[in-house]
Chain A
């Protein structure tokens, strides 16, 4: 008899814990949480300007309002090169609806230019040094590896981050959601 009471008590406590967690989880995150979870984490992105392949500085702010896919990559990163033809296709197909890819290459301009020509790159290729990797850390790339991709919605918020290659299904998924 006492055992049943004990089990009932545990169950009630357990349910209260879950309910409490669900309730408090919907409040504002406590200040010591991972800062990338807070609104405003897109700020480093909108403040960024990098040179394109002609050497002209391009501010990312100019693409605010689009569904922006910022892809950090390098020619020395084979998985990065492998996913880019899909991006080229998606840019061609959905560019008219407001999808915009921007590549940030952690690389030498000559190598970027060569590869861009090879794959018929149809979106901006900006060139950053290793500092660009440091910047990607502020956007959530904890490990500092490539490829790293962030996606913003039309309101300018980061809604998706991915470290590692983007599968076609994932790309289609968020394109459908956001466009």
Chain B
């Protein structure tokens, strides 16, 4: 058993060492325990938290102008995560969104909500405009809500991307990401 003194920096008298109560017992060698002693946060987090992606990276949204009246919306869903079909909402500004056809997902039985449909890996949806608007800049708002297999759910989020609709006969526009990856040592 490792007893770790948590330090407040303010109490001048000695306090009895507090035992950290952790979600999982450490299965590590002595060197790692020594190292952990130097870090000693007051309360420990379960191991799962460090592995979880932020919402916008678990369900990364991007879009591109496919032709003068169609935007293609895309969710790149990380491994071990899934989105609910029922919670998907799209809006195009300016312009009027036509009928959206969603692909078939996987069916799950949810105890509270009954039959639910989910998407994994990648979801591609065509968003048609009611009227063609070649060369126009269009902002796509995509609302989604998803969970991770390890047992957490994220709140709904709205991700926005602005794309330019190609001219008639022009090729597909570039894929624009809503949350470009920021490279950093720190989350």
Contacts and interface: CB of A to CB of B under 8 A. Distances in A.
* Residue picked from A36, A115, A162, most chain B C-beta under 10 Å: A162
A24 interface: yes
Interface string B16-55: 0011010100000001001101111111111011001111
B7 A78 contact: no
A177 B44 CA distance: 15
- Decide if the interface of chain B is mainly helix, strand, loop or mixed: loop
A38 B8 CA distance: 7
Nearest to A26: B5
A144 B152 CA distance: 10
Interface residues on A, range: 35 or more
A170 to B, nearest CB: 6
A129 B10 CA distance: 36
Nearest to B53: A143
Contacts of B55: 143-145
A146 B52 CA distance: 12
A88 to B, nearest CB: 16
A24 B152 contact: no
B34 A18 contact: yes
A179 B187 CA distance: 35
Interface residues of B, number: 42
Contact of B49 (A76, A79, A163): A163
B24 to A, nearest CB: 8
Interface string A109-153: 000000100000000000000100100000010111111000100
Interface stretch (A27-35, A46-54, A90-98): A27-35
B151 A37 contact: no
A140 B37 contact: no
Interface in A13-32: 18, 21-22, 24-29
Given A130-B155, A160-B21, A21 B35 contact: yes
Nearest to B35: A21
B185 interface: no
A159 B4 CA distance: 13
Contacts of A143: 49, 52-55, 152, 154
16 contacts: A25-B38, A26-B40, A37-B41, A39-B42, A133-B155, A144-B54, A144-B155, A145-B152, A145-B153, A146-B153, A159-B21, A162-B45, A163-B48, A163-B152, A173-B21, A178-B21
Interface of A: 18, 21-22, 24-29, 34, 36-39, 41, 74-81, 106, 115, 130, 133, 140, 142-147, 151, 157-165, 170, 173-174, 177-178
Interface of B: 5, 7-10, 18-19, 21, 23, 31, 34-35, 37-46, 48-49, 52-55, 110-113, 145, 147-148, 150-155, 187
